Structure 1
Amino acid sequence: MSTLPPLAAIFLTHFDDIKGQSVIFYASLPNLPAETIEHATLPSGLHALDSDLVLFVHHDLPGAGVFRNRLSDESSRGRKMGTLGAVLANPAVPSDPFSLHDPLSALFDQLESLESSPFAPSTSTSPSNAVSILAKVWHDHRADSRPGSSTNVKGNGKEAVRGIRQLVDGRARPTEHPIAWMPSLLGILGPSIVPVYKAALSGQRIILYSTPPLLPLAAFAWCIWSMSLSPPSTPDAEPSKWIGNVGLMDLTELKKRKGGWIATTSDAIYKSHPAAYDMFIDLSSIPLSSSPPHGENTPTTPTPHIFSTYHQPNNVPVPITYSFSDLPLYRSLLLLTSSPPTVHAGVSKTGGWWLLAFELLERAWKLCMGVCDFAVGRAHLGDQGHLRLDEGEEDARLLDEDDEIISDLGGEEETDEDPEDEAIRRGKLILRQLHHNTYHLHSKLRDTIDARPRGETSRTAPLNQTEVRQLVGGKWPLGGLEGKGQFWKDIARVWGMTADIEEQDL
């Protein structure tokens, strides 16, 4: 049975048909009050399910709760609904709460096996059996009782970034991880995954909405958050945050929150508050499963509705979709998901023939498109006189030898490691390809800024129209600086490569 890691808090919340939400038990490290934990862990719509996993952030620390919905005894009416949860101590990262499902479920089983209900009344002088058990669990697993565990409430976020990089580099091989949902997210969003990826890169506030189950929704949010990582060479970047599930009680605070973030909700009222988000992804028409599909083929699903208020007058939501220039990157993601199991992110020793065929198809496609564009006067010559497409039109290929994404490690020895979970393997390949595309975006942006004349503020000044035109390429968008041009301005600001006009005036 899985054991609990060092904890910052543990709790049991209860929903009563008449009294509403309440806290049965809550214990935490100093300076971590319960606040509205009963509302955060009993969100709307859970009454329709027997069980679910609710993922959230409590005082900037990630947490998870196992929700259960049981019929009451014959002597009473209604149902017994509650959430048993835990908040992880630093250096926990957003992917860690997903592994709490098994130990919390086992502990919930123990509470439900008691003669009295886990939600029975309890007082400090006469604690219930469930409260007594939880108090002992807290005593054994509180972070300040574990050697080497940090009791610092505020994390710096570096552990989360480091964990993702180790994951996509192949240095981490987890058996359970939200990255397993990445192929499913790609299948649901289709080519629209590219504008969602760009929104995450540019530091937008993104909400995913659906009715429960909430576990897949939280995993999708983690996948989108992991796409937003800036290149390692941008120490001044403003990272987006994964903030888990939010409810009606969080609406006012969410509107005031600064910076980019990705959240989930089962409260449809958020859709009618466009000031609270920049992008709203409505997955309510998509049948979500509580476990990631492990097959290669994702079932056909309805098209999700995606709305954006970003740079829109009066925050009016407008539907968004992919553009033609997004298709090459999307096509490369599809090719990776159909790769054989011998192809891994960073740890492959075989699969070379598949990669060679991939490269040949890529180059043939680019040559054909380049000749056609040159014939109609839309293409231009590269730095060395070679035909090439615009950056946005180039098919996002696997990395070259100098900055490889899928590498052949030296030697012919076979490892004794167990085969990697197929969904995790494919998810890591998708994420690494997106990170590779981010690397090229940063490289092009850096070259443009480095070409500026020397001056006190020239390197940090916002992109001008000439630079934006150069970054966008020969196919200037009909809407002027909107769309593609604004995207370049946004990532330059978020990555700390340019400053806001207001900052320069200080």
Structure 2
Amino acid sequence: MAAPRRGPQAQSSSHYNTLPDLPSISALFLIDFDVKAGYTIIWKQSIPGLELEGVVEYKSLPSGLHTVSEDLIYFVHEDGYAGLSAFVNAPTDEEESRHARMIAVGVLVPLSYGRLGRAWRHADALKDLAAKLAVDRKQTWALDEYWDLCRTRDPNHLPEPIRDSPMASPALGKRALPKGHVRDRSASEGGALMQPGHRLSPFHPAWSLNNLLDTFGPLIFPIQRAALLRKRILISTHTPVNEACNFVYNISVLANIPFSVFDLLDPSAPAQRLRPLFTIGVHDIPFLMADSAQRPGPTPEQPSNPLGSASSGWVACTTDSILAMKDDLWDVLITMPQTQPTNTKEKVWPTVESPKGIPVKATQRDLRRFRTLKAGLRRVAAAAATSTARQPRLSTSSVKTTSFLHNGEDSHTLADAADKIVEPVTWAALAYSGFIWWASAGEQRRSDEAEEAAHDNGLLADLIPGPSPGNPTPQQRRPSGSFNVTGMSGGLGESTTSLTARRATTTADGSASAGGAGAGAGASVDGAEAEEDRARVELGIITYFHRFTATVLGTLAEIVAATDEEEEEEEYNDDYTDLDTSRTQSEVDEDRVAATPTAEVRVDSDALAAMGLDVWSHADAAFVKEIVAMYFDRQARVEGKGVEVCGLRVC
């Protein structure tokens, strides 16, 4: 029996040795479903001290998997590991297993490699192993081989942790810090997503970014705003969960704080990123309750958690509906609809709500922004397709592509969204629009629309082909007072540093590998360049949202700094009038320290427009108040737009 095994074993070894830049694994396990005992671990290997029993069986196999034939499940282990399991549900003739064999092959990867430990690089191999073991569970030699190839060689010397702060965004240069704003910063979480020689792996969650936009439509903007406020976001979904796990990852990435504005924030601001917990279930309720008890942040008596501080919020998905009923465990609930047939004409949108069933909708500004974003991404995709067409040697069999709806389908979808998931136009907005149209013969309205479109297009300025003659560039038309996110030169790579971490890895023979190096590296240059073009839409989406975040925080930082300067000037004048009093200088200084900063931050409608927010929306006004309190430790007074007659505000 030994001779027949040697053939496939040699073939498998050759295949796995060609996988690029595989992160080392701390555990490998095989889970089998027994009709009497449930899911049980029948084979495992791990580094010393890493507990698997009673943990990975539940985390890697969410409820409802028996209804699908295969799935990829991401999860996190509370000891600081990211997990990935490949599930297979195969028919069998065995009556004792009810004619179905359900197994899962999974790995644990140190989170020091990033928010998911780059576990997706193991996805293809795990799917292959699961398919083989579903046919014959005795082929565990393949697991032994994979463990020997990828295991962590020295558990006491794991890779240096990739910390939270990203590098500077390409659109954002270093700025002078407002007085009093000092904040320690850490290194980048990793290199740029697609620098020369880098490739976006076939199973990378970022490939789902365009589908994320198509699934949520304009709702993606209030979801991102909730993520920026570090809310606890729960996605209630159905199996398969692979796409929901990708959405969790991508929402976390879109809510990153760009490094260029990170130093402008108050030291008490929350963590740079939102924690992605990926798949969770009823067995995670104790963890979620303990995490909820620690909010808004850990005290000196509370030890730090390897998964991050409770003040950083989280985003996760679940197939256990009981979690959706426990509204004390989450702040925002996203309920995904059942999978729709491809020929369905009417789109069923996800629902987003706060506790007590309060619905969350996109604003009218979000709807217009989404329309502009999709049009811009369509042009990015067209430019990428033209570039890719010049790469005849590339085999597209292993490269994912981004698809778009036709313009007509997009228009129909957005019209449907306006009726179902977008706030209605307010009476004040209608009155103002009608008055301005009458007073300026429509000129002011067209000017406002052009400025708004220029603002939105500016967030994709260096990714879209140059404007046609006569059209203003984003630098030529920019809302007054806005934080210029496109004024600095640079590529789009640095705004996507959260996605990958290029790090040399060690292969089975002990040699270092950076992925793609070797005899075939030169021949793959054209293919890598074409893959960069194919991923350009995904990079554009991340760049867009990071620039939006930088615009909001940068504009607010300038307002806070201006408020502080005004307050300091007033205090100086007060001190000048008190020079002849009997108070000592130390007493004056103590009073100044105790009183500064106290001024309320005023955010007017011009500032709201400069940030790309809706000047008529109460939800956006509440968002600004929360974000000023959270990131700048100040109180804000938001003044939306209104209609004034003879100096009196009538609505």
Deviation at 1:404, TM superposition (A): 5.5
In structure 1, distance between residues paired with 2:338 and 2:134: 34
2:282 is matched with 248
CA–CA distance in 2 between the matches of 1:104 and 1:460? 55
Q: Distance in 1 between the 2:371 and 2:164 partners?
A: 32
Q: Unaligned stretches of 5+ in structure 2?
A: 1-14, 168-186, 292-309, 391-431, 441-446, 462-474, 476-485, 493-524, 569-591, 637-651
| Aligned with residue 105 of structure 1, among 127, 130, 140 | 127
Partner of 2:153: 144
Q: Give the deviation of 1:249 after TM superposition.
A: 0.5
Measure how far apart 1:92 and its partner are: 1.9
Aligned twin of 1:15: 33
1:307 counterpart = 2:353:
yes
Task: Label 1:77 to 1:446 Cα distance change in 2 as closer, same or farther (>3 A).
Answer: closer
- Name the structure 2 match of 1:279: 332
- The one-letter amino acid of 2:353's match is F
Equivalents in 2 of 1:288, 1:179: separation in Å? 24
- Aligned CA-pair RMSD: 4.1
Distance in 2 (alpha carbons) for counterparts of 1:491 and 1:445? 9
1:86-126 CA distances to partner (integer Å, 9 max, x unpaired)? 01125322352223211112333443454xx35xxxxxxxx
Cα distance in 1 for residues equivalent to 2:536 and 2:623 = 30
- Aligned residue in 2 for 1:40: 59
2:405 is the counterpart of 1:396:
no
**Residue identity opposite 2:120 in structure 1:** F
Paired letter, 1:150 = L
CA contact (8 A) 2:30 2:105 kept: yes
Q: Distance in 2 between matches of 1:190 and 1:317?
A: 21
Of 522, 529, 536, the residue aligned with 1:425 is 536
Q: How far 1:286 moved relative to its partner?
A: 3.7
Q: Which amino acid aligns with 1:223?
A: N
SS at the partner of 1:166?
coil
Are 2:456 and 1:437 equivalent residues in the alignment?
Answer: no
Q: Which residue of 2 aligns with 1:384?
A: none
- Work out whether 1:60 is the aligned partner of 2:145: no
Gap change, CA 1:245 and 1:468, over 3 Å in 2: farther
Match of 1:332 among 353, 367, 372: 372
Do structure 1's residue 180 and structure 2's residue 204 form an aligned pair? no
Counterparts of 2:59 and 2:331, CA distance in 1: 22
Aligned equivalents of 2:213, 2:239: Cα separation in 1: 20
Judge conservation of contact 1:240–1:262 (CA < 8 Å) in 2. yes
Aligned ranges 1:122-133 → 2 under 5 Å = 130=140, 133=142
Write the distance in 1 (CA, Å) between the matches of 2:317 and 2:596.
37
Distance apart, 1:371 and its partner CA: 9.7
**Residue correspondence of structure 1 range 160-179 to structure 2 within 5 A:** 162=188, 166-167=192-193, 172-176=198-202, 177-179=204-206
Distance in 1 of aligned mates of 2:162 and 2:379: 37
| Cα distance in 2 for residues equivalent to 1:143 and 1:288 | 44
Matches within 5 A, 1:363-374: none
Q: 1:377 to 1:393 in 2, by over 3 A?
A: farther
Contact 2:112 2:159 in 1 (8 A): no
1:66 Cα shift?
A: 0.4
Question: CA separation of 1:5/1:397 partners in 2, compared to 1, >3 Å: closer, same or farther?
Answer: same
Structure 2 Cα separation of the partners of residues 5 and 397 of structure 1: 38
- Return the offset for 1:388: 5.7
Q: CA deviation at 1:169?
A: 7.6
C-alpha contact (below 8 Å) 1:336/1:426 kept by paired residues: no
C-alpha spacing 1:37/1:394, structure 2 compared with 1 (3 Å): same
**1:294 counterpart residue number:** none
Give the letter aligned to residue 57 of structure 1.
Answer: V
Residue number in structure 2 paired with 1:447: 558
Aligned length: 434
Superposition deviation, residue 323 in structure 1 = 1.0
User: Does the 8 Å CA contact 2:559/2:601 hold for their aligned counterparts?
Assistant: no
User: 2:103, 2:130 within 8 Å by CA — same for their partners in 1?
Assistant: no
- 1:70 is aligned to 90
Instruction: Give the superposition deviation at 1:196.
Output: 1.1
Which deviations, in whole Å up to 9, do the C-alpha atoms of 1:234-262 show, x marking residues without a partner? 15541211111001101231233223111
Q: 2:247 aligns with which of 206, 220, 233?
A: 220
Deviation string, structure 1 residues 390-427 (Cα, Å, up to 9, x no partner): 998974122446235878xxxxxxx9454237763322
Whole-Å Cα distance in 2 between the matches of residues 54 and 440 of structure 1?
Answer: 35
CA drift of 1:278 comes to 1.3
1:464 match: 600
Match of 2:105 in 1: 84
1:486 CA displacement: 2.5
Change in CA separation of 1:202 and 1:424 when aligned onto 2, cut-off 3 Å:
same
Cα deviation for residue 81 of structure 1 reads 1.4
Residue 219 of structure 1 and its aligned partner are, at CA, apart by 0.9
Aligned equivalents of 2:97, 2:51: Cα separation in 1: 33
Which consecutive residues of structure 1, in runs of 5 or more, have no partner in the other structure?
A: 119-128, 290-297, 310-315, 351-369, 379-386, 408-414, 502-506
Pair 1:157 & 2:164 matched:
yes
Q: Which has the higher contact order (CA 8 A, sep 6+)?
A: 2
**Matching residue's letter, 2:543:** R
In the alignment, the residues of structure 1 paired with residue 250 and residue 363 of structure 2 have an alpha-carbon distance, to the nearest angstrom, of: 22
SS at match of 2:328: helix
Matched, 1:234 2:249: no
**How far does the alpha carbon of each residue in 1:375-398 deviate from its partner, in whole angstroms, 9 at most, with x for none?**
5789xxxxxxxx768998974122
Q: Please state how far the C-alpha of 1:277 moved relative to its aligned partner.
A: 1.2
Counterpart CA distance in 2 for 1:264 and 1:18 is 28
Distance 1:438 1:394 in 2: 17
- Distance in 2, Cα, partners of 1:15 & 1:36: 15
Question: Counterparts of 1:155 and 1:26 in 2: how far apart (Å)?
Answer: 27
Q: How many percent of aligned residue pairs carry the same amino acid?
A: 20
- TM-score, normalization by structure 1: 0.73
